[in-house]
A and B are shown apart, each in its own frame.
Chain A
Amino acid sequence: MSFFKVESVVKRFGGLAAVDNVSFEVEKGDIFGLIGPNGSGKTTIFNLISGFIKPDSGSINFKGRRIDGLKTHKICHLGIGRTFQVVKPLKRMTVLDNVMAAAYRRANTKNHARSIAMETVEFCGLGGRADHLSGKLTLGDRKRLEIARALATGPELLLLDETFAGFNPTEVNEAIKLVEKINSSGVTIIIVEHIMKVIMSISGTIHAINFGKTITQGTPADVAAHRGVIEAYLGEPGDAQG
């Protein structure tokens, strides 16, 4: 039984297949990279996994349980947390309150929720800004907040959606460290990125898609050398010269 498995998933919007027969498996403890150019269907896959949309066919299994078609909150309770590419801070709540709302997933008293939240906020490097309104944070901090909130729900599998987009190099390095720290605390991670450099340095396995279809899967080195991946990123060889 695999930890997490996506099998022949198809999702069409209108006539267009946004995700077309994609399958992959993720081992427990892995950092699994999902790459592809903009609009290739990565976020759609995340929305399918977290239950915002239902696949037209195919199945998604988590720890031996079929989860496609379940409600989003239910999937969270099963142990899958996610961040959003377009951050969704609970704007008029403080950073700590944002994370507390998430921590209540596994806490029943306010004190317990607060202690989980404090710990998570510190862990994600937001300790100094716990009482700031989350709507007023910088983009970098908002992305950290996304991660902190997802972590506070106590996930075994964490979906990170373009956490690095819009970061400067220093911030990228900090974020990479954070992701590795989360991973070493025992959380399996699926990370979506279209910046190749970042994902190559942290992922064990990479799955590349374009136009909703799988191109290849393998180690970072294999994927980077794959002709289809290069074409997807640079366009057709002819285009690049033209």
Chain B
Amino acid sequence: MDPGVKKTAIFALLVLFVSAPLFVKNDYFLHLMILAFMWVVIGSAWNLLAGYTGQVLFGVAAFFGTGAYTSGLLVNHLGWSAWWGLPLGGVTAVILAFPFGWICFRLRGAYFALATLALNEVMRHVATIWESLTDGMAGIMILQTFYAPITTPLGILSSKTPYYFISFVMAALSIACVILVTRSKLGYYLLSIREDQDAAESLGINTRLYKMISLSVTAALSGVAGGFFTNYMGFIDPETVFSLHDISIMAILVGIVGGVGTVYGPAVGAFIMVIVQEMFRTGVFGLLSSLAEGTGSGAIITLEKHISSAHVLMFGILVVLVIRFMPNGVVGDWGKVAALVTPCRRANMRQEAGE
């Protein structure tokens, strides 16, 4: 894309996102937007380590859940505001990431990925078993800060509006963070490590150190997102925040569907995946149930009954299909499509591939 057009488009999107709550007061719509923004943060975090550094993270929930529990435990045990969980959730996630990375970065490729998977499981078990700290399976309930509609000079706004803006800022900051990284020395080093670790070492790059830095940023962003999740949802339990499919696999899908190793890929992926997830959860936004009532068709009734319980199945099938047919995601494969249409874009693409 022409840089001028790109800038204008991004600016227009920003204006649209900022002003949306003034016009749209539908709680459900805002809820989906908030989730999408949160997933932009997690997806960007995953993408930094997996897409830019080539270290596939199968267990981002380990860091997300740690952030979420930090927030909840601060309320439960210290009586602090759960909002402290945003910064401190990032910090605790990094504290977890540090020894983990130090030990596990000697593993390469799939073995590292497996170690992160194991970390995910260990953290879930810890949160479940350590009842004196976490209340185990019962989970943690906190009082949400905003639950009533808010009256402002601009009119009465939904109680979700503050969460909307906070998550929006988080999403914007995490994209900015990725942009900053990719344009710096760090970005070049991470890409070099992704492409060839031995070559990177021979160029004077301390691969272990830079992988640690990448993991720390990933963990920090995921932890902050976890802290936000606790504040927004008001309830967490081990099965939710340390969930292998609903968090870790979802993060991978957000990354891949959008485009691995692209700046805006996870943002695109986040919106697509939140909508897809919601479609399965709600039976295509209630369309199926009204169809079932309207037509009385047995097939649709059965489909409607099962679709919400089948969202994990859909996740599995999506993973398979996306990797098989669209491994570079919407943003990654978009360039290819665009290049086919206009030859002059090829040079741009080449440059973007290196940026």
Contacts and interface: CB of A to CB of B under 8 A. Distances in A.
B353 A110 contact: no
Contacts of A48: none
A110 B206 contact: no
Interface string B144-183: 0000000000000000000000000000000000000001
Contacts of A110: 183-185
Contacts of A96: 354
Majority DSSP secondary structure for residues of B touching A: helix
Contact of A101 (B183, B198, B205, B207): B205
Contacts of B347: 131
A91 B261 CA distance: 14
A150 B350 CA distance: 23
Nearest to B192: A101
A84 B197 CA distance: 13
B182 to A, nearest CB: 11
Contacts of B192: 90, 93, 101
The size bracket of the interface on A is: 20 to 34
A104 B207 contact: no
A204 B184 CA distance: 42
A5 interface: no
A73 B204 contact: yes
Contacts of A113: 185, 188
Contacts of A74: 206
A175 to B, nearest CB: 20
Contacts, number: 92
A105 B189 CA distance: 10
B2 interface: no
B203 A71 contact: no
A50, A88, A149 interface centre (most CB from chain B within 10 Å): A88
Contact of B191 (A88, A101, A150): A101
B203 A93 contact: no
A97 B188 contact: yes
B300 to A, nearest CB: 46
Interface string A72-96: 1110110001101000111111101
Nearest to A87: B199
A92, A97, A132 interface centre (most CB from chain B within 10 Å): A97
29 contacts: A72-B202, A73-B202, A73-B204, A73-B207, A76-B201, A76-B203, A77-B204, A81-B202, A84-B202, A89-B195, A90-B192, A92-B191, A93-B191, A94-B354, A96-B354, A101-B188, A101-B189, A101-B203, A104-B189, A110-B184, A113-B185, A131-B347, A131-B351, A131-B354, A132-B350, A133-B353, A149-B199, A150-B203, A153-B203
Given A88-B199, A105-B204, 20 more contacts: A52-B201, A71-B206, A76-B203, A81-B202, A82-B202, A84-B198, A88-B198, A89-B195, A90-B196, A92-B191, A93-B191, A94-B351, A94-B353, A94-B354, A97-B354, A102-B203, A105-B203, A108-B185, A110-B184, A131-B350
Interface of A: 50, 52, 71-74, 76-77, 81-82, 84, 88-94, 96-97, 100-102, 104-105, 108, 110, 113, 131-133, 149-150, 153
